[in-house]
Amino acid sequence: MKKTNNVLILLLSVFISSLFGCTNVAELSPEIDSTAPSTNATLTLTGQWLTDGNGGGIIDPQPSGLTMWQEQLVMISDASANDGQVKRLHFIDPTSAQRKTLSPIYQISPNLTQSCFNQYLLSKPDLEALVKDPSEPNSFITVTEDASVLGKLTQECQVAFRDTHSTIYPTVLVRLRWDGTQLWVTGVRAVQFPVNAQIGNTPNDGVEGLSIDGNTLFIALEKDVNYRARIFSTVLDEQFWADSGFVSVVDSTFMIPELNHPDQRPVPHPINGTDIFEYQGSKWLLSAARNDNQLWLIDIAKKRPTKVVDLKFMAPTKIGTGPAPVDCPAFTLMDNASLEGVAVANGKVYLVNDPWKRNYWKNILCEATRPAYAEHMNGLLFTTSVVELFRHTRDMSAE
């Protein structure tokens, strides 16, 4: 009887649809089971090209940091980007990957005119990572890398900031404030690493990830002298930006994946972007390992093993508002993506890549994409969900 009723209901639905000229009956998606076991399969992400306000690709943005603010993604470029992209914030629509606003180049706030680091900040600083500052509604925190190339310190400043226990020229945390018209540098703090941390004087392998949990700032180092990624932390108290001296950081002792050659020599296995999110009652630090095409999920409470997600990246062959290329598939598999920006918000994960100029041309499988890869170094935005991440994890202990 139940089967007969179902048939009658189906026939009735089709009859009613035909009366109103509707031939498509909406399908209900199955509910997501967030407790489903991991597939242990590689997660394939399909990207969207970053575009400017006119719908064309953004020329050589070299994204190095990403965060969510007021339902927009905010991105920052590193020093290898086109001159028109640096020392600014890029405000990106998370749905379309289109840049809606490009801030002017930042200015130094009047209260910082005597800062030891103004000379470097006013040159072409290598700004890496970006996170929303929880203490001010329109402020962000970024960090400098590779300052030893352009950064100069007075004799007095050299004495004050010589004990970095890392690079000769200090790593500097920088607070930026966006007032809707102008971008300002409103705070600078030099970082002092633990004396025995073995960070090394390798400025281009410095801090690449910033993330915040409450009043704790996590500072992710690309690699130390042993080629191992490290995560340090410090407390963002009320006087943090008022202090002009060093900010000391401590090792978080998180469980971070490591790789070794057969002869046990460590190999570069870096962190290049981070963010923090909560899932099923636990807080996780999500890290991008660009060299390995992986994401790492690190339990902040250190109760669960670190989880690894293997990634593949697909890119559209159609770029911006231009026509779709002839004799090309709609998407091609990328040989090299190089993630650097990570942001998690509202259950979604946003990832942006930093085109590696030495390898980006290897993505050319369709000749129509040559300008994007080989000339313009266009970046892409990849989006997935937190649930999908956990469906594709494997425990670090299983490696």
Q: Are 246 and 161 in contact (CB under 8 A)?
A: yes
DSSP state of 113: T
The Cα 124–Cα 83 span in angstroms is 9
Do the bridges between strand 183-192 and strand 247-248 make them parallel or antiparallel, or are there none, so unpaired? parallel
pLDDT for 203 equals 86
At 267-315, the pLDDT tens digits run 677 899 999 999 999 999 999 998 889 999 999 999 999 999 999 999 9
Alpha helices in 111-183 (DSSP H): 118-121, 155-160
Determine the structural domain holding residue 173 and report its residue range: 2-398
Residue type, 41: A
pLDDT for 15 equals 39
Closest to 188 in 3D by CA, of 127, 118, 90, 270: 118
Residues 79, 83, 87, 92: is their CA dihedral positive or negative? negative
Give me the number of domains the chain comprises: 1
pLDDT for 22 equals 36
pLDDT for 339 equals 96
Residues paired with residue 395 on neighbouring β-strands, in sequence order: 307
pLDDT for 17 equals 38
Residue type, 184: W
At 137-178, the pLDDT tens digits run 999 999 999 898 899 999 999 999 999 999 999 999 999 999
**Strand, helix or coil for residue 291:** helix
pLDDT for 291 equals 86
pLDDT for 202 equals 87
pLDDT for 45 equals 98
DSSP for 344-375 reads: EETTEEEEEE---TTTGGGG-SSGGGHIIIII
**Strand, helix or coil for residue 4:** helix
Q: Which two tokens stand for residue 395?
A: 């425990």
Kindly give the parts of the chain with pLDDT less than 70: 1-40, 259-267, 397-399
The Cα 53–Cα 311 span in angstroms is 30
Q: Are 256 and 231 in contact (CB under 8 A)?
A: yes
pLDDT for 31 equals 37
The Cα 97–Cα 52 span in angstroms is 9
For residue 266, give the CATH number of its domain: 2.115.10
Q: Are 236 and 215 in contact (CB under 8 A)?
A: yes
CA terminus-to-terminus distance, the chain: 54
Residues paired with residue 275 on neighbouring β-strands, in sequence order: 286
The Cα 315–Cα 97 span in angstroms is 13
Do the bridges between strand 307-316 and strand 331-333 make them parallel or antiparallel, or are there none, so unpaired? antiparallel
The Cα 174–Cα 187 span in angstroms is 6
